[in-house]
Structure 1
Amino acid sequence: MSDPSEVTLGAQVARFAVDAARHGIPDDVAASARQRVLDVLGLCVAAHRLETSAAIVDHVLDQGGHAQATIVGVRDRVTAAQAALANGVLAHSLDYDDTHLPSVLHPSASVVPAALAAAEHTGADGALTVRAVAVGLEVAVRLGMAGYDAELGNSVFFEHGQHATSITGAMGSAVAASLLYGADEKGVLDALGVTASMASGIIEANRTGGTVKRLHCGLAAQSGVTAAQLVRRGFTGPPTVLEGRFGFFEAWLHGRFRPEAVTEGLGKEWSVPGIFFKPYPANHFTHTSIDAGLALRARGIRPDDVASIRIGAPTAVIRTIGQPLETKRTPQTGYQAQFSGPYAVVAGLLGGGGLGLGLDDFTDALAQDPVRRALMATVDVVPDPRCDAIYPHQFPAVVTLRTTSGEVVVEEVLTNRGGPERPLTDDELACKFRDNVAGRVGTADADAVRHDVLALDALPRVDDVLRRLAPPAEPAAASPASPTPHPTEEESA
């Protein structure tokens, strides 16, 4: 009897992963993976402005342990698993990380932190790191797409209230980390089997508040790194971890999944280059409403002109950006504003920074600004049949504004900026990175990081890149009991 692990879905994933790590990946896939590393590093730096970021950094530093890997923006090194946790939290906390459609996953915020932590721990070179990132992203996306129901037009994970980002992100993180720890096909399969018992996440906080969602990608990255390490020490997982009677897809999707999404074209057709970058630091469902607001502003509409605004959106997204409507019209914090359709269109109408709107446009003060509150009170969020027909391949919006003089102005935004149909240029991605690190990383170091990451394949190690994003060491205070010695001629040369 043949070994069942030779024919399982997990075994096919493991074979693909090891083959890509050993023999390379297409140039466009590698280029996309490098861009996503740069994007995540910028997000991690920018997220240090948040109280929850300070909390996770303090928590991780308090755990102690061997100095194996770097928390982005922190000088002290921590264990690889703890670095993955902290960086995953940082990467996802601003809701500025990339999105795959139609799975509605944010894969880079877990996979990149896991890969960087494992790469630092093992001293892996940049070429293997890029391959591991790309493979981890591909696995996360394919597992997410296995749970996409075309007839329903939505992810079954999402319908169940599950955060597919952290669930499949943990699995992708495990594959990426395993490759960097030198695993063979059995090791990658075992890591998937172990991680499946660690992957989780629910999305109720999207609706009614709470910051727990910021933890999700960190916990996913930590799970992937930990699983890879445990497998190195002898732990194993079931070969039928994905499709088994009590496996991953049964547990999460009650057996309602598409196995062909995992294996069809695996290794030949890559999803990675098609993952959408985010131009705005808000829930991706709100982006076309932001675009519509910006377009209305460009047409000369001013706040005093507004009598009412109606956002036509896909029915499935309204529970995230439009319900409960009174809550969405009155966000209490910048974080809640990131999930508010009314805030999005109003912020666009008022204009902002970055690539149209930036991080400074989502603050607690602006969420409670009386002018914005007055405008948000006029906004309704309703289902739109045209948007339903397009979702979830895009997150469209049809915004109808009625002026105080009775004029009706309509802005239709049917495709998302940052995706394959409206891609961000290299200059725009560089602008996003510079904005994210401004005030925390010097211009020279920021430019050096950007250069090195976009040439990551050629670097012997990743450590130096991450160190450039850390704050400078504070000079040690001179001891008053010991006068400073005069330098010798050699020391002062």
Structure 2
Amino acid sequence: MTVATMTLSETLAVFAARTGYDDLPEDVVESVKMRVLDTLGICAAAAPLDTSRAARRWASDQGGNPQATAVGVPDKLPASLAAFVNGVLAHSLDYDDTHLPSVLHPSASVIPAALAAAEMHHTDGRTLIRGIAIGLEVCVRLGMAGYDEAAGNSTFFENGQHATSICGAMGGAVAAAIVAGAEHSIVDVLGVAASMASGIIESNRTGGTVKRIHCGWAAHAAVSAVELVRYGLTGPPTVLEGRFGFFQAWLHGNYTPSAITDGLGDNWCVPGIFFKPYPANHFTHAAVDAAAALRRSGIDLDSIDRLVLGVPAPNFPTIGDPIEVKRSPETGYMAQFSGPYAVVAGLLGGGGLEVGLDDYTDALARDPARRSLMQKVDVEIDAECTAIFPREFPATLTAHLSDGTTVTQKVLTTRGGPARPLSFDELNQKFRDNAQRTMNEADAEALTSACRDLDGHQDIGAVLQSMTRIDPI
């Protein structure tokens, strides 16, 4: 079998088998450590949600062999169910990392799957890092294969499909196979996982909390696929490009194979996945930064007559329309999708790196002072920002002052992305803000240290032990 005759899943399997820990670039290893810390911090903060408790109770009621740690569950669960719980929590706050321009959230599926498999198979930290790195790479490349360059959008999303969980099941399955020592079976694992990959995003439009389980179900599918193959199930080698395969079923054959294969193993996507410094829709992040820059410049809020937020045209319907609603969010969740609220949050400052979870509450969304300031914010389409989108989510912010002068701040790159990366210490600020809600100081510090030195750990279960004490069921 030559490269020219290999199927796409065979190509990915060879990439996985040939890429050892020592082959990983240093920035990939560092990125994985940070993503594990970030994901666990989000899980800690999401643990008290009603949907998180529902996921834990459902998983615990299933019974089975104690194999892996689930956040907030005192006793270990079967690995697939632990992956489910942790995947649900990782995606429940809209705070998980994002790849652009595919708009995937890769870590929320891949990391819970890999952690569960690592505990089940007693894998060391180096192998865990290797599995996560390769799984994230596979997830992102499958997502990019479904990105329509001409349309500037993901074909998955155009079809109402949640690319995050669909591609996450596939990447998570590869990660879990590596961690389980089963990279020889990756072709079959992908073939089985493809029949379990799923997710539709209608809840983004008309409501419901089902989206919160998508990454959990993807992680569950990933671990299950590896175990089913271990018991003898097989999958088609042409599962990705075949006549009735993954891309035909999801995208009606409209995909770009070269996005999967070009530079595979040489040009890594993993370090370029954007961390989310703020717990809100990614389209609003540059607005927070622009407003914070105005605040730091010493602008007097009482002197502001009007604020104009310029955003890319594709972002406008999400964070600027209808403007009456965006200026008066009723809940913290609605505030996460409001351009005017992002501006006000940045102007007033808060926790985290500029703002944190405490700045997106129902009470603050309805706060009269904030609403008064939001009434001064207009959201407009900006040509310069539109030209930069979607590889960045830029914004401009112009303050019209009572003395007739104007002050403008432009934020043309997205904080947490390759152009403005976060250091481990900066990301740790976000982790600590999340973790302090449900973890004690000693446990949070120990988890930070464990993730920083993840490649030196032999027992992943010991790393995760403190997570069982979080908001128990």
Q: Deviations over 1:232-285 (max 9, x none)?
A: 112222211111122111222222211111011111111111111111111111
- CA drift at 1:352: 0.8
The answer to whether the Cα contact below 8 Å between 1:286 and 1:340 also exists between their aligned partners in 2 is yes
Q: SS at 1:70's partner residue?
A: coil
Which residue of structure 2 lines up, in the alignment, with residue 28 of structure 1? 27
The answer to whether the Cα contact below 8 Å between 1:207 and 1:323 also exists between their aligned partners in 2 is no
Which residue of structure 2 lines up, in the alignment, with residue 422 of structure 1? 420
Distance 1:347 1:450, change over 3 A: same
The answer to whether the Cα contact below 8 Å between 1:95 and 1:283 also exists between their aligned partners in 2 is yes
Identical-residue share of aligned pairs (%): 59
- CA drift at 1:27: 2.4
The equivalent position to 2:288 in structure 1, one of 290, 298, 310, is 290
Q: Deviations over 1:362-405 (max 9, x none)?
A: 11111222222233334333322111111111100112233355
CA distance in 1, matches of 2:328, 2:206: 12
- CA drift at 1:168: 0.9
- CA drift at 1:18: 2.0
Amino acid at match of 1:374: S
Which residue of structure 2 lines up, in the alignment, with residue 75 of structure 1? 74
Task: Choose 457-466 or 15-24, whichever is displaced more.
Answer: 15-24
CA distance in 2, matches of 1:40, 1:401: 36
The answer to whether the Cα contact below 8 Å between 2:110 and 2:171 also exists between their aligned partners in 1 is yes
Q: SS at 1:78's partner residue?
A: coil
Distance 1:394 1:333, change over 3 A: same
Which residue of structure 1 lines up, in the alignment, with residue 166 of structure 2? 167
Which residue of structure 1 lines up, in the alignment, with residue 431 of structure 2? 433
CA distance in 1, matches of 2:183, 2:276: 35
CA distance in 1, matches of 2:149, 2:79: 38
Q: Deviations over 1:329-352 (max 9, x none)?
A: 332221222122222112111211
Q: Confirm whether residue 85 of structure 1 aligns to residue 92 of structure 2.
A: no
Distance 1:406 1:317, change over 3 A: same
CA distance in 2, matches of 1:55, 1:290: 33
Which residue of structure 1 lines up, in the alignment, with residue 339 of structure 2? 341
Which residue of structure 1 lines up, in the alignment, with residue 267 of structure 2? 269
Which residue of structure 1 lines up, in the alignment, with residue 256 of structure 2? 258
The answer to whether the Cα contact below 8 Å between 2:3 and 2:11 also exists between their aligned partners in 1 is no
Amino acid at match of 1:408: T
- CA drift at 1:307: 3.3
- CA drift at 1:58: 2.1
- CA drift at 1:473: 12
The answer to whether the Cα contact below 8 Å between 2:72 and 2:470 also exists between their aligned partners in 1 is no
- CA drift at 1:188: 0.9
Which residue of structure 1 lines up, in the alignment, with residue 125 of structure 2? 126
Q: SS at 1:380's partner residue?
A: strand
Q: SS at 1:308's partner residue?
A: strand
The answer to whether the Cα contact below 8 Å between 2:131 and 2:174 also exists between their aligned partners in 1 is yes
Q: Deviations over 1:443-484 (max 9, x none)?
A: 22222221122211121120001002332899xxxxxxxxxx
Q: SS at 1:277's partner residue?
A: coil
Q: SS at 1:243's partner residue?
A: coil
Amino acid at match of 1:123: H
CA distance in 2, matches of 1:416, 1:155: 19
Which residue of structure 1 lines up, in the alignment, with residue 108 of structure 2? 109
The answer to whether the Cα contact below 8 Å between 1:302 and 1:349 also exists between their aligned partners in 2 is no
The answer to whether the Cα contact below 8 Å between 1:312 and 1:399 also exists between their aligned partners in 2 is yes
CA distance in 2, matches of 1:293, 1:258: 39
Amino acid at match of 1:300: G
- CA drift at 1:208: 4.6
The answer to whether the Cα contact below 8 Å between 1:5 and 1:239 also exists between their aligned partners in 2 is no
CA distance in 1, matches of 2:32, 2:428: 15
Distance 1:353 1:254, change over 3 A: same
CA distance in 2, matches of 1:472, 1:161: 34
Which residue of structure 1 lines up, in the alignment, with residue 455 of structure 2? 457
The answer to whether the Cα contact below 8 Å between 1:45 and 1:436 also exists between their aligned partners in 2 is yes
CA distance in 2, matches of 1:168, 1:64: 28
- CA drift at 1:6: 5.7
Q: SS at 1:432's partner residue?
A: helix
CA distance in 2, matches of 1:4, 1:414: 40
Which residue of structure 2 lines up, in the alignment, with residue 50 of structure 1? 49
The equivalent position to 2:276 in structure 1, one of 269, 275, 278, is 278
Which residue of structure 2 lines up, in the alignment, with residue 214 of structure 1? 212
Instruction: List alignment gaps of at least 5 residues for structure 1.
Output: 475-493
Q: SS at 2:47's partner residue?
A: helix
Q: SS at 2:222's partner residue?
A: helix
Q: Confirm whether residue 148 of structure 1 aligns to residue 147 of structure 2.
A: yes
Which residue of structure 1 lines up, in the alignment, with residue 350 of structure 2? 352
TM-score by length of 2: 0.94
The answer to whether the Cα contact below 8 Å between 2:21 and 2:126 also exists between their aligned partners in 1 is no
Distance 1:85 1:472, change over 3 A: closer
Q: Deviations over 1:16-43 (max 9, x none)?
A: 1122247642222112111111111111
The answer to whether the Cα contact below 8 Å between 2:335 and 2:365 also exists between their aligned partners in 1 is yes
Distance 1:305 1:199, change over 3 A: farther
- CA drift at 1:224: 0.9
- CA drift at 1:202: 2.8
Which residue of structure 2 lines up, in the alignment, with residue 447 of structure 1? 445
Distance 1:248 1:469, change over 3 A: same
CA distance in 2, matches of 1:20, 1:165: 24
Q: Deviations over 1:158-190 (max 9, x none)?
A: 3333221111111101111111222243x2111
Which residue of structure 2 lines up, in the alignment, with residue 135 of structure 1? 134
Which residue of structure 1 lines up, in the alignment, with residue 180 of structure 2? 181
Q: SS at 1:382's partner residue?
A: strand
The answer to whether the Cα contact below 8 Å between 2:71 and 2:470 also exists between their aligned partners in 1 is no
Distance 1:18 1:291, change over 3 A: same
Amino acid at match of 2:225: A
Q: Deviations over 1:288-328 (max 9, x none)?
A: 01111212222334544443333221122223323344433
CA distance in 1, matches of 2:327, 2:235: 47
Q: SS at 2:19's partner residue?
A: helix
The equivalent position to 2:203 in structure 1, one of 188, 202, 205, is 205
Task: Choose 403-412 or 250-259, whichever is displaced more.
Answer: 403-412
- The 5 A counterparts of 1:288-327 are 288-327=286-325
Distance 1:313 1:445, change over 3 A: same
CA distance in 1, matches of 2:242, 2:203: 31
- CA drift at 1:417: 1.0
- CA drift at 1:118: 0.7
CA distance in 2, matches of 1:137, 1:216: 17
The structure with the largest alpha-carbon Rg is: 1
Task: Choose 116-125 or 242-251, whichever is displaced more.
Answer: 242-251
Which residue of structure 1 lines up, in the alignment, with residue 234 of structure 2? 236
Instruction: List alignment gaps of at least 5 residues for structure 2.
Output: none
Task: Choose 68-77 or 401-410, whichever is displaced more.
Answer: 401-410
CA distance in 1, matches of 2:129, 2:203: 33
The answer to whether the Cα contact below 8 Å between 1:415 and 1:422 also exists between their aligned partners in 2 is yes
Output the aligned Cα RMSD. 2.3
- Give the number of equivalent residue pairs: 472
- CA drift at 1:50: 2.2
CA distance in 2, matches of 1:313, 1:20: 41
Distance 1:300 1:184, change over 3 A: closer
Distance 1:40 1:301, change over 3 A: same
